[in-house]
Structures are given as C-alpha cells and as structure tokens.
Structure 1
C-alpha cells in the first residue's frame, strides 16, 4: 500500500482527531443526538480563535492520504517520538492512551485489545496495510500479532476505531491497528535497543530483549531495510490462583505466559525510475511459549511471510499492488510422548491492487479509490479436537470509495465493498461519512457503516470441539464443551458515530459517541446441561443481537513549552447480548464501564524527559449476577469470573535521558502500586515492574 511522510504537529503529542456518526439509516440513538447539543456552545468559542496548524498525514482511515483531522474516521496516530518519550518496550505500552481502546488481560494470561465494547476477535491487525493471520492457528490463548515488528522498525501506528470493512473486509468490525514500518533511507542509519524488566513478586515475570533496525542504499536505485528482535519473558515462578474444574481438578492461573521470541525481517526496494517502485520482503519469527518452572516449552509458534509490492504513478493517479503469502504453524509439546505434536497450520495467499486518483465533480474536488483482491486460506488443525479439522476457503472482493468536497466546509465520503465468500455468497458493505469544518481548528464528524464477519473454518466444522472453563459458557458457569456448527450465518452490524474534534495551538481535544448494533452475533448456545459425568455441551450459533454504545474522549494540553497534560478515556453505556428467552442481558466482552488514562510529560531540560500516567480501570460494563434465577426449568447462573466488580488503578512512571546525540537511557516503574482487580476475577495485570533500557542510534 502507498506510504506517506508524517509531519508531527506542534500542538499535540498524539495528534488526535474527532469522529462523528452518520446522518443516515433511520433514527439514531438518543446518545448520539445528545452529543450535538452538549457541544454546540464550544463551536462559538472555537470560532473566536484563528489557528494555523501543521498536519499529520494518515492513510489507514482512507486509502487517500489526508490529514488526521480531515480523515473520514476516528483515528489516533502514535509515531516514533511518542514511543521514545514513553520509553515503551512494546506496542501495548503505548496503546492505553488511545480513546475507545481497551487493554486488559484475559484468563489465559494474554493481553487483549478491543474497541468500543466489542470482542477482541473483532480487532484487525495490519502490517503496512496487509492483514496478519497467525492468530488463526489458535483456537484461543494466542499472545497476539502486536509483537511481530520491533519498535525500532516502526514509523508510526495508525489506530482506527470503528468498523473499516469497506477497505479491509472481514474482522475489521471493532477497529484496525495498522503498524507502518520505516521506509528505506538514502544514507545508512539504524538503531539498537536493549531493555530489561525486573519484577518484585514471584507471580509476575522478569523479561529482557534486544532489537535493532538498519537501512541504507545498495546502489543502482536499490536499498535495503532489515530488522530483528530477540526477547524473553520468563514464566512466573508461581501462579496467582487456581481454577477448580469438574471433578475438583485444579488448574494454575498465571499473570502472563512465559515466551521466548525471535523475529527477523528484510525488505529490498528498487526504484528504477521516477514514479515506479518495486519491493520484495521476507519476514520470519518463532515464539516459544515457556512451560511452568522446570518444564519444557509448552508451545512453539512459527510464522513466515513473503511479499512482492509495486507502486506505480499513472498520470494523476497511483496504483498500489501486492502479492503476499503467509504460513503459520502452532506446535504443542506432548508430555506423554516427549515430542512435539503435529502442528496446526494456517496458510494465506492474497493478491490486492488499489488505484487512487482525483478529478472534479460539479466543479469540486473528488478523490476516489477503486480496488480488488482475491485470497485463499487453508487450515489444518490436528490438535484442537479428537478428529482432524481442515478446510479451505476462497474469497474475493471489489470496493470503491470516494470523497467529494461538497462545499468549502463540507466533505462527504461514501464507500461500497462487495465481498464474495465461497460458502456464503455475495455480501455488500456500504459506508457513508461526513466532515464539517467550522474553521479555526474545529471539525464535526459523523458516519454510518456496516460490517461483515464470516464464521471461521473451525466453527463451521461439526467435528470441532473446544473445552472452556467458563468464559465461553455464557451465561452459565463453566466448564463446558463447545462444538462447531456448519449452519452458522455471517455476523453483520450497523455502526454509527458522531463527534467533535478541535486542534488548537496549545490544546487539542476530541469527543465521540458511538453505537454498534450487531445482528446474528456468533456465540455459543447450550444444547445439553451438565451431567454428573459430562460437562455441559454448547454449539456455535447465531444470537439475535448484541449492542454496544458509549463515548470516547481525548485531550492534549500544552501547559507551557515544557509540560504537557494528556488524557483519554472511554465510557461504555451499553455492552450486551440477549440469550434466547432469558430476560437478562449479558456483557459482550470483558470491558470496563470507565477506562481513563491521564498523565503528564515534562521536558525537564535538553536531555531529560519525565512522564507519569494513571489508568483507571472501572467495574465491568453490564456487570450482572443472576445466581439461582430459574427460567423455563433451567438455572441461569452468573457470567463467568472474567467480570471485574471493583475498580482499580495502574500507575506508571518513566524517565528518558539523552546520554548524547546518539544514545538514550530509559528507566521506569510499571504498575507502581501493584494495582489489581478483585481476587476472584480470572485475570491479573502484571505486578510492579522496574524497567531499564538504552537505545543507540547511528
């Protein structure tokens, strides 16, 4: 996909902008309409100040390069200066400040990224605009795609909140995290980073890593970029608790998975003439999931990808194409045989082309994109069930999006995607968005879009079986066994957002209201209660609906030339799904009702930057306990213990000191006061961690 240079704004660390919801598709919820009345007085205030701003150019919210404020979506940009100022060790360290995004640990010890009260499975991860499919080798317990590219190799991260199915297809219902890597440089340069984290309690683990990036010319219009990382997070010395399953079997619960990571990537770029560029990229990585203390590795995950890209200037337009093949393997250690079991394999091959250009329509500028792709996916899973789960699917899509500058103040964006799924036929996904510029830095945004998610190859297979200790057994208590269903239908949603964004000389803020209405939500329905000898049996099924609604907000305020205050947060007013004839609504995801992060960054002198932030993680949105309620002769128990019934705080402090022009020392303390959820909740945050790192640039 096309790449563009980012120019940092002088007024904002995070370059936030505001989002909005649509004037279409029937009656909007009162939550969205009320926002306009609340923010109307601010319009008059903003018009009193004339501000000239630099811009941040983004591409994820629209395939056409645009400023973050003008982008037809809710988008946050995190660039290298943000990462360096924070002394971040991985991507998740910087994501907590994104409005609308929730980052908590699941009961498998892994951090989960979700948007707007939707499940984490509805978050799409991209690298340079191309989807990563390694998580499809897992039925659960995946450590995530966010550790694939080391921070040294990242140019910026564009986070789009809300559905982007028109441009990116299935799985982009909640939001998109697009990791954009650095481009080749005209002179040889690079960086090397080492970091360490030391825990002060045995239920949280130490870690260490070294990563690097290098780029430069090879001659004859040929350049090279390469990156790599070696890292290890120890398995915690002791579990924080035990989960009791059927028959009194105790399962230890750990704060995080121990993991050893190796990743290496390289890209060759050839620009034979002006307006033409070819690229070839290879990347591979291996993650070893460490066993408990004294035990062998429990799992080995490998991924390899090959890609060819072409960027071609055609008159006023630009054609961007790529062919990419990714293969992933997931092997489990068999303690009985002392060998690795046959791996779960998932292969994906994708060919996509996208053309962007501009013309005039009614005497006004009209930017447009047309594109198409074909993809083949193949799964072979001999581990999850007693029988081999395998299958393949071919998909294809064509899409178009246009942005028309209707007036000097109003721009309209419309898009349409037609997906063809080998099993589910043709599905049409529309999108409409409006931006209204009040001037002087104030922008009103609003949009309506649909999203489409096809059931995956596992859930469609009748031989698929997966055990759950409780989180998959909603609304009953676990454990249970979940089986596949070949009659599943695709999940669709109608999504609305509306908001205001202000970009000033010393301050910027945003507030956005959203509403998501999910139809045919893919979940699991109980078809057999538990017996004295067998756990309850659930089958994948489509529920009638799931709904989420809320408000997300962000503020950057430059108190003086050296001190900046940053705040972001999300309020989930609704996150629920209905199950059959039960009257009670249950939460769609493990999402706090309030999630707020606020912090200060102080440039103490030319060399020293100090920062601190506090994150408030509130009570579970839609928290419900219906213990003992009898409906139709069945006992309706509580949602599993993933619900958090009491708020807690996370406090991080950090310092970055420039030893010289080429080296920076980072020190910090994560979770300073060891904030944790209630003891009966089936996840834990990392405890107090002391961090130390140094980055050398050359």
Structure 2
C-alpha cells in the first residue's frame, strides 16, 4: 500500500493542515510546529484501504513496526522500545493496556477508521505536554467532530492471508453525524471486526535448536461510540463522549484466551474567554481483562483498571517588546487504580493506586521575523515516585521560500507502573525477563523504583513546496535509570531464581529520518520515507557488551508511486526495504554469560516488502479498494522468531452519504 506519510506531506501544503495540541499547546501549521510531525488526514486513511492503524503508521519516518515473539506489531519510535510511545485519542490517554501484562494487541486495532479525522504523529519526547510514557513520541488519533448536515460512511472489508503468518480477517465499520437541534449535534460510530488466529510456525534459534511459536492471537472486536456537542452560544461548547468495546482474543483451534472490555465516559468544555481559549475535560475509563481458565472451563475474575483524569488548559497570545508571544498554562490531575488476581504466580490479589498532579506551561516567542523559540516546563508529582520536572526548548528558523530549520532539546520520563511498584507482584518468566541469567525465574515488584529519564536532541530541515516537499532530521537520545530486573540471591521453593524490578540500565539511540514527496504531474506522485538507526543499544548491569534496545532494523526505506489514472481509478505501488537488526549480535561474539542476553527476534538478512493497491470510485458515494500486501511473501531469515504479514489479498467497499 502507498505509505501514509507521503500523502500527508503532499497535502500539508495544499490543504493547510494544522496540528492541534499534539506538538504544541496551541494550533500551528505543520511546518511551524516545534517538533518533527506527520499528519495523516481522513482522505489518506480512506485511500489506503488498510485493516487498522498499524498498517498506516509503519511507513512514517522514524517509526518502525516492531514484532515480538507473540507476533503483535507495536509502534516503535527512533529505536526506543514500543512502550515508550504514547497513544492518545483526542489528546487523552487510553488506559486499557494496564489490564494486560503480556501480548496486548494494542489500542490501534479497535478504533473504526471511518471515525478518524486525522492522526498526528510527533516524533521525539513530549513529556512537557503529556507527562509519562511520551519518551519516544506521541500518536494522537483525532476523531471526527459532528457536522451540521447529516452525513456518514460505511465500510466493509475482507482480507485473506497465509494461516501461519496472517490468517483471514473481516470488518464492518460505520460513522455518521449531524444536527439534532439548533444547538445540539451528534456523532455515532461502530465497528465489528474479526481476525483469525494464526497457526504455529517453526524457526531455528541461534544455537541451532528447533523452536515453534505462533504468529499471533486473533481478535474479535465490537466497539460503539457516541459524541454529543451542545453549543448554547458562540463562546462556549459542552460535550459528552461515550465508548464501549468488547474484544475477545482468539487462539488457533482453542477457546478464546481472554475477554477485554472497556468503557469510557468523557465530559468536555471549550470556552472562549476574550482572546483566550480554555479547554477542559473530565474522563473516566474502566477496563476489565478476564482470562479463560482452561482447567475449569470458565472465565477467571477480571483484572480491572480504572482511571479518572481531569485536565484544563488555557491558551492565549500577547505581545512583549513588540514581538508575538503565544502561551499555554495547564493543570492535569489523574488517579489510577489496579485490582489484579491474574499476574501473581501464587494467585494473591495485587492492588494499587496512584494519584498524580501536574502543572505545565509552554510559550512560543517570535525573537525575530524568522526565529521562533518554544519553551516548555512541566512538573509531575506523585507519592509513588516523587516530583519530576521535564523542560523543553525548541527553535524554528524560517529561511523563507518554504525552508525551515528545526532544532531542540527535551527531557522526558517514564513512570513505573502499579505492578512494578507492588512488592507482592510475582511474575513468572521462562527466560527473557531473567536475562542475562538463564530462566525460568520469578520477578517481584519494587516500591523504590524511580522513573526512567531521557535527554533528547534533534536538528532538521523541513521544506514545503508546491510540487516537492521533504524533511530530514537527526536525533540523539540518552536514557538513564531504565527499568530492568536484578538477582536478589534468593530462590523459590521450586528452585526458581528470584529477581526484583530495579533501575539498572542505561541506553542510547541515534540516527536519521526523512521523507520526500514529489508531485511529478497532476496525476502522479512519488513518495519516500526512511529511518536510519546508527545506534540503538542498552547495557545490562555487570556486562560490557551493548544489546539492541528493540527489534528494529538499522535501515528502513519505503518508496511508492500513486497514479490517478482517470477520474475514477487510482493505482498505487510501494516497496519497503527492511534491513538488518540494528546492533546485531550473536552468541559466538560474547562470553557464555553475555550470550544468555542475546535478544530474540534479531534479523540478519534484509528483505523487501512489495504492496499493490487499486481504488475505484463506483459513483460519487461509493469506492471499492483492492490490494495485495507483501506480494512476494517476503519474510525475515529462518532464525528469527517473528514473521511479517504474509501475502495478503484485500478487498473493501466504502459508501458515503
């Protein structure tokens, strides 16, 4: 499929897309945003004919779709592990993942593509605005707002792929909105989706032993959502948003493995105060994860995670010394609660709660007609990990004629979760969590954990022209106090070594990312994106050898052509080069103790993914999409413990009104 980043870059100039709240506390143009940003609009999403957001995001510069032993694709930014990327919906956190310890299918598969207005992807740390977890960057999914005139769309899609890498899937999604009364508008959306579980496949370990894993669990998902907006006058707006989802994780030739249910209620307020804008929301999220008990053939008691979040943000502009100053002041209060009986090996209840308060401020000041500086500062305070301050400074220099220089420094942090802070937490690991020592082992929580921190630097050029647009950014990240596990010297009654969560590791990532879009003619567009990781490594305590931080290629390149053959027919083709694992290491290079820490999933041989797509407008209100992903069924080498999506045939139709 044609990479989404290409369309985003090419339309940014034509349509004047804006970034709202993701890269800055105020609305700004894509080029002026104080960060490396990509915006994907709803037209691009519709043209992709993708199954979910993972398929759309993987070709953005700086991003990689990392694969684990479970076969689950996760978004990794700039060589950092996937859990250092923060996913937001309408600028709000999604807490469903707090109920799942392993093999979470993620937040990107449940949202109906028909309901999405745009996706704002910010590469680089954003803790100043969003607090914990935004160390690598932010993926902010903006849903469509209700319209004045009743309109909407319905999409039906079916895909078929190899049983051992992809399996079949089908979905129907819908979105419609309109005005109910003079002051009240409404939007409704829904999705029914099923992706079959894949069969097991075999691979060969570095040691030459045969091993068998699954490419991934399937999923059966139902989601409903509604949004009501009441605007009594031109200065104030109230909203209420409700979503509910039920997701079953499917196992190949077995009962569903878990039932994941989520409920979300959010109240919003937009208030125009003179020249300023006050934006606030209060949200409540409840997520429940009930695993299937194969022994007693019933559902176990559900792990439950509740989050209450309140945020208010005031933005305005003024002049200082004759120069323009935009500023944002914000307050965030959150409370999380966990009740878990499923991740403690002894079956004991794990309970915990965490309250966090944060104040933040950001200011953008025009130092000269060409130079704009952005300053940000945030303070997060919690009884569990103390007070944490994260600063940010960013500069945009406009050379004119569409060329802008961007450079910045930011700190970020990743707070420990409620399980890792609980001394009663007792996770069983077959080996990966026990490294660099042999498994299996038990891992306990530690109430003395402190947040991971990072210092990040970037510099780049961004050019937006009428026919050609490009960007090039260099980045460097230093991480300290990374979460790990250390031996306590104790042994359980069944002989397992006992480890404790601790801050032991440090790491570094560095590289280049870029993109190019060229409108060769009014009907033909050539797009490109790449990510080069010069370094992505961290150290285990007491070992001298650096190890890869994530399952990420050293070089990832996508090039694509999109041809508007006539008024109704659009053809697309793309080629993605997936390079060798960054920091690739083998057991032969290491000592016997270090060899135990070699990560699974390293790819040593590059491969190519070729995608083809076709979109045909049957009428003004109906479009049919065809596609073949991974035409030649390319896969990593036989020693790699994950598989790419196999040759996948897609067909879908969208009707609108």
TM-score (norm. length: structure 2): 0.95
Q: Secondary structure at the match of 2:521?
A: coil
**Which of residues 288, 310, 317 is equivalent to 2:276?**
317
Task: Rate the CA distance shift 1:662–1:539 in 2: closer, same or farther, 3 A.
Answer: same
Q: Once the 2 structures are TM-superposed, how far is the Cα of residue 279 of structure 1 from its aligned partner?
A: 0.2
Asked whether 1:183 is paired with 2:145, we answer yes
Q: Secondary structure at the match of 1:581?
A: coil
Task: Rate the CA distance shift 1:343–1:53 in 2: closer, same or farther, 3 A.
Answer: closer
Cα contact 2:217–2:252 (8 A) shared by 1 = no
Asked whether 1:497 is paired with 2:497, we answer no
Match of residue 516 from structure 2? 555
**Which of residues 151, 176, 181 is equivalent to 1:214?**
176
Match of residue 336 from structure 1? 295
Mapped partners of 2:420, 2:201: distance in 1: 32
Task: Rate the CA distance shift 1:107–1:519 in 2: closer, same or farther, 3 A.
Answer: same
Asked whether 1:267 is paired with 2:261, we answer no
Equivalent pairs counted in the alignment come to 647
Mapped partners of 2:564, 2:434: distance in 1: 50
Asked whether 1:13 is paired with 2:7, we answer yes
Asked whether 1:229 is paired with 2:188, we answer no
Asked whether 1:433 is paired with 2:416, we answer no
Match of residue 308 from structure 1? 267
Q: Secondary structure at the match of 1:121?
A: helix
Q: Once the 2 structures are TM-superposed, how far is the Cα of residue 544 of structure 1 from its aligned partner?
A: 4.2
Match of residue 286 from structure 2? 327
Q: Secondary structure at the match of 2:98?
A: helix
Match of residue 680 from structure 1? 639
Mapped partners of 2:432, 2:63: distance in 1: 21
Q: Secondary structure at the match of 2:122?
A: strand
**Unmatched tracts of structure 1, length 5 or more:** 1-10, 19-51
Mapped partners of 2:194, 2:573: distance in 1: 26
Asked whether 1:450 is paired with 2:411, we answer yes
Match of residue 347 from structure 1? 306
Match of residue 610 from structure 1? 571
**Which of residues 143, 146, 155 is equivalent to 2:108?**
146
**Which of residues 537, 544, 547 is equivalent to 1:583?**
544
Q: Secondary structure at the match of 1:486?
A: coil
**Which of residues 228, 238, 244 is equivalent to 1:278?**
238
TM-score (norm. length: structure 1): 0.89
Match of residue 409 from structure 1? 370
Q: Once the 2 structures are TM-superposed, how far is the Cα of residue 112 of structure 1 from its aligned partner?
A: 0.9
Cα contact 2:492–2:498 (8 A) shared by 1 = no
Mapped partners of 1:209, 1:534: distance in 2: 47
Cα contact 1:303–1:327 (8 A) shared by 2 = yes
Mapped partners of 2:113, 2:496: distance in 1: 44
Could you say what the CA RMSD is over the residues aligned between the two structures, in angstroms? 2.2
Q: Once the 2 structures are TM-superposed, how far is the Cα of residue 89 of structure 1 from its aligned partner?
A: 2.2
Cα contact 1:351–1:374 (8 A) shared by 2 = yes
Q: Once the 2 structures are TM-superposed, how far is the Cα of residue 202 of structure 1 from its aligned partner?
A: 4.7
Once the two structures are overlaid, the 10-residue window that deviates more, 181-190 or 203-212, is: 203-212
Cα contact 1:17–1:501 (8 A) shared by 2 = no
Cα distance per residue 1:223-245 (max 9 Å; x no partner): 11000000101122x2112799x
Q: Once the 2 structures are TM-superposed, how far is the Cα of residue 467 of structure 1 from its aligned partner?
A: 2.9
**Unmatched tracts of structure 2, length 5 or more:** none
Cα distance per residue 1:452-482 (max 9 Å; x no partner): 1111111111222223344434445554433
Q: Once the 2 structures are TM-superposed, how far is the Cα of residue 597 of structure 1 from its aligned partner?
A: 1.3
Match of residue 527 from structure 2? 566
Q: Once the 2 structures are TM-superposed, how far is the Cα of residue 641 of structure 1 from its aligned partner?
A: 2.0
Cα contact 1:602–1:611 (8 A) shared by 2 = yes
Match of residue 610 from structure 2? 651
Cα contact 2:6–2:527 (8 A) shared by 1 = no
**Which of residues 337, 347, 353 is equivalent to 1:378?**
337
Asked whether 1:65 is paired with 2:27, we answer yes
Once the two structures are overlaid, the 10-residue window that deviates more, 396-405 or 679-688, is: 679-688
